[in-house]
Structure 1
Amino acid sequence: MSEQTPFHVLVVDDDKLMRQSLVTLLEAAGWRVDTLGRAAFVQDYLSDTTPDVILSDVRMPGMSGLDLLAQLVGMDSAPPLVLISAHGDIPMAVQAVQDGAYSFLEKPYEPRRLLTVLQNAAERARMRQSNARLTERLYQLSGLDRIVLGQSAEVQALRQDILAFADIDAAVLLNGETGTGKDLAARALHDLGPAPDAPFLALNCAGLSAETFETDMFGTWGARDGRLLAAAGGTLFLDEICACPLPVQAKLLRVIENKEILPIGAPAPIGVTFRILSSTNEDADQAVRDGRLRSDLFYRLNTVVLNLPPLRQRQDDLALLARHFLDQAARVYDISAPDLSQLDLAALLAHDWPGNVRELRHVCERRCLAARRGNGTMTEAIRADLSLENVPVTLREAVATFERELIAKAIRDHAGRMDETAAALGIGRRTLNEKIVKLALDKDALL
């Protein structure tokens, strides 16, 4: 319990000595305490003040603790109610818990037990309020705030940079680890620019082939337009540029420098213009030194460099992001989004998030899938252990599941570079391609 924000309890009891005894106990434990001698006064009290928990006797003149419970159940955001009951009132108190009371204690109460019950009730109330505030904030967000979500200083600076450079026709290089949202930032630069309705062409550079590049990108004269011509006048996003084959880099450089393409069989080049955006999940300067990225292409792409922070440096954003992804997944699976408990938040803060925001989104989806079955925690979702009910029935299905997970992880680890992926798995490139088809893996979705 924080010294700056002590828990706040309202004690309702017609017995003055009992009220004084409870005040002495609770204030000694660091609580802020208010008291009322009648339950009938509670509603007026709550119109001005919202305590973390209400502690009330069951039997009182006029309105009883059970009447108070019925009143609180009908109120929005009412504090949890803990009842104190005499021995003969226990069946009544049990029914009260079933009707919505947080808990009950039998007289004479044990002080440590009382403090534990009240603290648990107060912590639960604060978590509920925190979840409600996160949801309200998400509903209030719009535009760039909702696309590049977060309130940490790094994310606020990134949003300012995107707004500053969106309407400037300068090449922007987005630098960040896999899963940090470089594609979202690129799309935001396009959508907030002067031509948001113009085409936006994203090319996964790791999957480009020098043999088919001209056919796919330039097209064939008189037969079909290539992808670059179809996207002329818009934005060309070169995703993971350091993974681009060197022969393709040379062709891209000519397009960027000359602002024209030559379709196969065409009598003359055709002029094209693009806003050039690119991204990398590695050190581009090192890639130039290693000879994997052409320096002349790099200097064409890095007029402006925006750095996207990894999730492990954005702990202030974890709760907001998790609430956002839980709400998204809950709508997909047609369930109520599970709340974030203190244990959930602790698990989120303890994890290193090597997969960044993308990993968090998948964790929240697993959490919602578990919630559909009436169980699950964030700790379990982060571990991503297969439960017995998810284990395939046959050995063949189990092997296929294992292969699918192993290959998917290798593709993500090597940013879609298939030769490196095959080498890491200890299989040939042709075998890898066959398994991807057989297992119905979507490489673009994995990246």
Structure 2
Amino acid sequence: MTIATVLVIDDDREMRVSLTHLLESADYTPIVVKSAQEGLAALQSMDPEVVISDVRMPDMDGLEFQLKARELSRVPVILFSAHGDIPMAVQALQNGAYSFVEKPFDPRRLLRILNNALKMKRLEDSTIALQDRLAELTDLERILIGNSEQIEVVRDLIFDFAVSNANVLILGETGTGKELVARALHDLGASSNAPFIAANCAAIPPERFEETVFGTPENPHGLMNQADGGTLFLDELTSMPFETQAKILRAIETKQYQRIGETEIQSVQMRVISAASHQIDHMIADKSFREDLLFRLNTLVIDLPKLADRGEDVLLLARHYMKRLSKLYDLPTPDLTNDDISALMSHDWPGNIRELQSVTERRVLAERRGGGSIRLAITNQTPQQNFPATLREAVAAFEREVIGRAIQSEAGRMDDVAASLGIGRRTLNEKIVKLGLDKDALLGDQG
């Protein structure tokens, strides 16, 4: 199996043949050219991962090639020359060359330098790819807006842990965005196209927990089957029945499980990301949660800060949510007054990000009645003198808010939304169009 493609540039035929044999014997695929101009063309058309180039060549030398190559690619360039001296080596390295090797060279040393250059290139490519994908994760961006030290640490951990397949435990209070962080870890990882299966342990009846996770002959597609090859996210971990924890532990350790009522062994490959509050430490102490299961799940840990501990991040988040919600509801974006700022900074935010989203939504909707304040939105009060101009407007505003919350509550499953509202699917679709609701925007702001 080929390790990597290496571009070789040298005007000396014997050196080209020698390097070709050396690279092929070490499982590299060489692309061999005899001039720097041909090397630049190959760099653009064949995308090699490392370049080995002579310095002394007619028309364009290796130093000039290295400078032009930097404009086209991040590929590391290893330069060598029989006429090399210290000033030339210093200049090459200052211009960005990865390394400089004098002829005649030790083949083992050259291969070692080549291997290190390849590792550096792939690490840089991986880093840039993750950064690009991170920028596309708008949900993650929303939940991690801020300049506080705590949130910077969380951003760094997400970035670092995404490239690992190790299990991750996300700790944090309700509303701090644990599921969004779990999704980010999955979406930034190598298996981003694989399934992400989220399960709220608190929402599964204890008597049906095992069949939900492992499946049955009648319903073989349990959570583990669905997550095979991807990520299983276990939210509200402390709600997992104690009697089931040993089976979950064994399945995670062995990557094998049995459906309930079957003896056949099923195999599974998955990463487990779980979320819990700090209450789990107390449950370990009183032995209501298995310590060995926790040790299996907390290989890596991300501790999400409380909103009240993030200082002025509250203001950045409030402005961000109000701008988005104002666009959603086609209303003017409220300005934050001094009293609004005081209310935002003095509130203890027991509901964290989720509570802030609700507060900013109430503040934005108050614009329909001519205004409001953050302080009133926090206490969920409405100015008595402000009412919609007509009954039709009041009904539309009420329907918009109720339907919007139902879409968020049912995670966008429109049949379930219609059922929860007690209306038909067709009626729901008509109301969504009439009220101008944006389903994607509503789901995008969940914390």
Residue deviations 1:206-261 (CA, integer Å, cap 9, x gap): 22334212332322336542232022111111112122221232232222122122
Residue deviations 1:154-210 (CA, integer Å, cap 9, x gap): 111110011011111111111111111111111111111111111111111122334
Contact preservation (8 Å) 2:312, 2:345: no
Alignment of 1:16-55 (within 5 A): none
Gapped regions of structure 1 (runs ≥ 5):
1-139, 392-436
Aligned to 2:106: none
Aligned to 1:353: 349
Q: Distance in 2 between matches of 1:249 and 1:187?
A: 24
Confirm whether residue 319 of structure 1 aligns to residue 306 of structure 2.
no
Contact preservation (8 Å) 2:340, 2:375: yes
Contact preservation (8 Å) 1:344, 1:377: yes
Q: Distance in 1 between matches of 2:206 and 2:361?
A: 38
Alignment of 1:359-378 (within 5 A): 359-378=355-374
Alignment of 1:77-92 (within 5 A): none
Q: Distance in 2 between matches of 1:241 and 1:141?
A: 29
Q: Distance in 1 between matches of 2:205 and 2:325?
A: 35
Matching residue within 242, 245, 253 for 2:241: 245
Q: Aligned pair in 2 of structure 1 residues 386, 290: CA closer, same or farther (>3 Å)? A: farther
Give the share of equivalent positions with the same residue, in percent.
Answer: 45
Confirm whether residue 207 of structure 1 aligns to residue 207 of structure 2.
no
Alignment of 1:30-429 (within 5 A): 143=137, 144-221=140-217, 224-385=220-381
What is the identity, as a one-letter code, of the residue corresponding to 2:379? R
Secondary structure of residue in 1 paired with 2:169: strand
Gapped regions of structure 2 (runs ≥ 5):
1-133, 388-418, 423-444
Contact preservation (8 Å) 1:176, 1:282: yes
Shift of 1:312: 0.9
Contact preservation (8 Å) 1:220, 1:265: yes
Secondary structure of residue in 2 paired with 1:279: strand
Alignment of 1:8-23 (within 5 A): none
Contact preservation (8 Å) 1:148, 1:185: no
Q: Distance in 2 between matches of 1:161 and 1:200?
A: 20
Shift of 1:438: 9.8
What is the identity, as a one-letter code, of the residue corresponding to 2:229? G
Aligned to 1:54: none
What is the identity, as a one-letter code, of the residue corresponding to 2:359? V
Shift of 1:387: 5.5
Aligned residues: 264
Q: Distance in 2 between matches of 1:158 and 1:365?
A: 26
Shift of 1:299: 0.8
Contact preservation (8 Å) 1:209, 1:245: no
What is the identity, as a one-letter code, of the residue corresponding to 1:260? Q
Aligned to 1:99: none
What is the identity, as a one-letter code, of the residue corresponding to 1:347? A
Secondary structure of residue in 2 paired with 1:174: strand
Contact preservation (8 Å) 1:209, 1:248: no
Q: Aligned pair in 2 of structure 1 residues 334, 225: CA closer, same or farther (>3 Å)? A: same
Q: Aligned pair in 2 of structure 1 residues 183, 345: CA closer, same or farther (>3 Å)? A: same
What is the identity, as a one-letter code, of the residue corresponding to 2:211? T
What is the identity, as a one-letter code, of the residue corresponding to 1:348? L
What is the identity, as a one-letter code, of the residue corresponding to 2:297? L
What is the identity, as a one-letter code, of the residue corresponding to 2:158? I
Shift of 1:264: 3.8
Q: TM-score, normalised by structure 2?
A: 0.54
Aligned to 2:403: none
Contact preservation (8 Å) 2:343, 2:375: yes
Shift of 1:279: 1.2
Residue deviations 1:276-321 (CA, integer Å, cap 9, x gap): 1111112322210112211111111111111111111111211110
Residue deviations 1:53-83 (CA, integer Å, cap 9, x gap): xxxxxxxxxxxxxxxxxxxxxxxxxxxxxxx
Q: Distance in 2 between matches of 1:314 and 1:171?
A: 27
215-224 vs 271-280, which moves further: 215-224
187-196 vs 332-341, which moves further: 332-341
Contact preservation (8 Å) 2:143, 2:353: no
Residue deviations 1:404-430 (CA, integer Å, cap 9, x gap): xxxxxxxxxxxxxxxxxxxxxxxxxxx
